[in-house]
Copies of this chain bind each other. A is one copy, B any other.
């Protein structure tokens, strides 16, 4: 399908799809028409887009997702490697939570001081 239909199918926009394609997160086929070529996306790319969206929801950046997909393509994305990546992200999330908690604690102290 062409980009418009694809974007519609995954609930995104053509611009975002082009952006992901430029980043190599999605792979488009080509259809020539006159002197022009149009990008064509198949069902695999729909799955891929859904996967990307899920990873994003888990806190991965597009860059990290791209690396993961490349590892997958290269065949180096073993179970243990996946485990490793997930756990690393888990740790970084925990770190961010801890940092926010620190700020929260300080804020609470301030609120109590000025509110008391």
Contact = CB atoms under 8 A, between A and B. Distances in A.
Contact of A94 (B83, B87, B89, B104): B104
Contacts of A83: 111, 114-115
Interface of A: 57-59, 79, 82-83, 86-87, 89-90, 93-94, 96-97, 100-101, 103-104, 106-108, 110-111, 114-115
Contacts of A79: 114
A58 B87 CA distance: 27
A104 B88 CA distance: 11
Given A96-B100, A100-B93, A100-B97, A57 B111 contact: no
Given A111-B83, A114-B83, A115-B83, A57 B103 contact: yes
